[in-house]
Structure 1
């Protein structure tokens, strides 16, 4: 959608235009936001509600100055699966709650001491490979969804599943390559729609749940002291909490991009501590109702860049619509009818994109892997994370692969000589640090 002029941060568009602009943001976040709960066994309807509530909380905490939409975080997929295996979905929610608290602690330290301490332990040579681990570690999940049908608890190869997955993947790729502007930002949504239609004609779609569902129904919320009694486990905390450090570094990158798009320094005003705190509160809110952790969405930043509509009221409108959709029973039932191979086809590209974004961080920051220090750190992180290494602390407490890879990577960076080699040219890190110093 083209606009004659930029729409300001506090500007309220005409009602009909407001609705259309908010729907654009809803479409941009929708495909990815419902994928995360689909993978981890949570309710997509709850994920929509939590993303809406989290976005509204974020807008309040950032004083209505940062037009960012928050949706389900892919970084937490593997940890949620592991935490759910250890303590059920309730355990995963407890882990998410404490991960959100980490955001709050980091925000308080940044407010008091600046951001240099955080950048000192999270150079691109650590963050990039850990992001690659997040994507590549889920590769097996994507292939299983694309190839296998569950029959009596066993995975059975299904050629039709694989065909549907490949058609879905092809539609997604073609959408990403040939669609321009806003449509080029939502290839995964096109993939889901096209794959769903193809799967329907392959006999893989049962619309009975949609017919039987009520128009309005409360989602399957998971609420502490209402649906379960919280019980804190060190095992779950070690699985979930370390991931917050990686997502915080991604958050910093999103803030820098958004600042450049809007033409305002959000790192300085309202401040990085506020945006990180907003992310943390959104994740805590999600954990209190049974949704996956939230994070700022690059797709929605892309929508802002294309439309030049910076209004936080448009973002807020999308959040309200997402909340309302979460209570639409037939809509939630429709999501539940999406066949597994459709999601599998989407995932083949999506998880690869996540891994590639980690590689891109190394390239953008001109990290030289010809230097032994960098080669060692990246190699160890990749093998520990993807290989699934873990440390069994006690019978119940375990440090899983992704957390172990991140921790070992940070330690190697801190103890090995020539630390400056692990930052490359780091334009993002230098700019954030300089801005924080100026604020201080």
Structure 2
């Protein structure tokens, strides 16, 4: 890989370079970042603002040595939706806060005990099937968004919008070159939006009424809602955080290869995990979804060979500015549901396929009964939505969270477990796709 930088990590771009390169990173994460709050029911403006502040916090904690952008995590879509059902947006924000705390605790342990224990706790035979669940569990949502009109009934017109969006996204994903190949989601949304405009299902009324500067819908603890901890929220969110930490490690290994530095050692995995967790906590405190490092932005770094952290910081500042722009926020909210549904069909499928790819790349041998048992239990419990009701305090663990816990436990207790060295883990995660 030719990773000789055009602008290295600590190099300062010119004002013109800073603006154009920052916009490029903003566009690369834009489609996926606004899709998550769209599905959960949060404000897209808050997704942008929280991603901006979260990225700035990440850069600060990693001592401005790790060029990464943090956007909305897909892994928490179903847990966040269920948290909403339990207690509204306040419950979802509390769950997000708890997930961020898990990152902090893991970072503290890594700083004291090293990082190999987390790699052995979450091998690919556990993480791969959980990633598959993340993609497949939201499949009904994607299909419903694609086929139905606003009243929830099947509409061929709306389905055609989803199909055009899906086709455009596939074409950009497969045939586009250079930077355009990094933003197939955004490009597909634009094409689908234009088609939806042609067939007359876009309403510009909210855009005309919106002001250039508008205060977003902040969700502040003790102000917007009463903080009410429940174990149900804990068990919905915390186990998923353990799995997304594994994805964070994978992204850091890939980023290390792209940039030509060892980010596991310097500034250290504990710092990057802490930065990720801090970004998630910031989101929880202002009303955004949980955060994760973004594969799309790593792809931009690989193609452009511009590694400057100032460019990532510039993208973060632009995201915050966009979030306070009422016209932009209103324009995002005019995107018809089938456009997002069309994109989601491919995106959620890719997430599920990336879990399968992890198993293949890691050479998981399913002739070994141990691996077959672990993967089988995780998949059926997770996709089936199994619920474990504990006999005290009405606590229940369900779906993806229960599957992740069972996977970790089975991996620890079944005979034949192999210790995963750092080199083995790097090889296994080098080709991962973004999941969350």
TM-score by length of 1: 0.94
Residues 194-213 of structure 1: pairs in structure 2 closer than 5 A: 194-213=191-210
Higher mean displacement: 362-371 or 44-53:
362-371
Structure 1 residue 116, shift from structure 2 partner: 2.3
> 2 CA distance for matches of 1:267 and 1:431?
15
The answer to whether residue 360 in structure 2 is matched with residue 371 in structure 1 is no
Task: Please name the residue that 2:75 is paired with.
Answer: 75
CA contact (8 A) 1:45 1:332 kept: yes
> 2 CA distance for matches of 1:229 and 1:383?
36
The answer to whether residue 299 in structure 2 is matched with residue 312 in structure 1 is no
The answer to whether residue 241 in structure 2 is matched with residue 216 in structure 1 is no
Structure 1 residue 395, shift from structure 2 partner: 7.5
Task: Please name the residue that 1:179 is paired with.
Answer: 176
Residues 258-407 of structure 1: pairs in structure 2 closer than 5 A: 258-393=255-390, 396-407=394-405
Task: Please name the residue that 1:437 is paired with.
Answer: none
> 2 CA distance for matches of 1:232 and 1:13?
46
Structure 1 residue 369, shift from structure 2 partner: 1.4
> 2 CA distance for matches of 1:426 and 1:80?
35
CA contact (8 A) 1:213 1:333 kept: yes
**Pair 1:17–1:4, CA change in 2 (3 A):** farther
CA contact (8 A) 2:67 2:307 kept: yes
**Pair 1:376–1:222, CA change in 2 (3 A):** same
Q: In the alignment, which of 224, 229, 234 is matched to residue 227 of structure 1?
A: 224
> 2 CA distance for matches of 1:8 and 1:26?
19
Task: Please name the residue that 1:118 is paired with.
Answer: 118
User: CA offsets, 1:190-237, max 9 Å, x none?
Assistant: 110000110111111000000010110011010112222211111111
Task: Please name the residue that 1:418 is paired with.
Answer: 416
Structure 1 residue 17, shift from structure 2 partner: 1.1
> 1 CA distance for matches of 2:235 and 2:403?
12
> 1 CA distance for matches of 2:393 and 2:336?
38
CA contact (8 A) 2:374 2:407 kept: yes
Task: Please name the residue that 2:145 is paired with.
Answer: 145
CA contact (8 A) 2:362 2:428 kept: no
> 2 CA distance for matches of 1:419 and 1:135?
27
The answer to whether residue 245 in structure 2 is matched with residue 255 in structure 1 is no
CA contact (8 A) 1:124 1:362 kept: yes
**Pair 1:112–1:142, CA change in 2 (3 A):** same
Residue segments in structure 1 that go unaligned for 5+ positions in a row: 433-440
- What secondary structure, in the 3-state scheme, does the structure 2 residue paired with 1:227 have? coil
CA contact (8 A) 1:165 1:195 kept: yes
> 1 CA distance for matches of 2:69 and 2:424?
25
Structure 1 residue 111, shift from structure 2 partner: 0.5
The answer to whether residue 164 in structure 2 is matched with residue 167 in structure 1 is yes
**Pair 1:234–1:344, CA change in 2 (3 A):** same
> 1 CA distance for matches of 2:28 and 2:366?
35
**Pair 1:368–1:423, CA change in 2 (3 A):** farther
**Pair 1:4–1:273, CA change in 2 (3 A):** closer
Task: Please name the residue that 2:52 is paired with.
Answer: 52
Task: Please name the residue that 1:132 is paired with.
Answer: 132
CA contact (8 A) 1:367 1:424 kept: no
> 1 CA distance for matches of 2:3 and 2:428?
31
> 1 CA distance for matches of 2:395 and 2:404?
18
CA contact (8 A) 2:8 2:307 kept: yes
CA contact (8 A) 1:366 1:425 kept: no
Residue segments in structure 2 that go unaligned for 5+ positions in a row: 430-436
User: CA offsets, 1:126-146, max 9 Å, x none?
Assistant: 000000000011111101101
- What secondary structure, in the 3-state scheme, does the structure 2 residue paired with 1:391 have? strand
User: CA offsets, 1:120-171, max 9 Å, x none?
Assistant: 22111000000000001111110110112242xxx31111111111110000
TM-score by length of 2: 0.95
Give the count of matched residue pairs: 427
- What secondary structure, in the 3-state scheme, does the structure 1 residue paired with 2:149 have? strand
> 2 CA distance for matches of 1:360 and 1:174?
21
Task: Please name the residue that 1:436 is paired with.
Answer: none
The answer to whether residue 22 in structure 2 is matched with residue 25 in structure 1 is no
CA contact (8 A) 2:385 2:400 kept: yes
> 2 CA distance for matches of 1:395 and 1:266?
42
**Pair 1:19–1:3, CA change in 2 (3 A):** farther
Structure 1 residue 396, shift from structure 2 partner: 4.7
Structure 1 residue 4, shift from structure 2 partner: 9.5
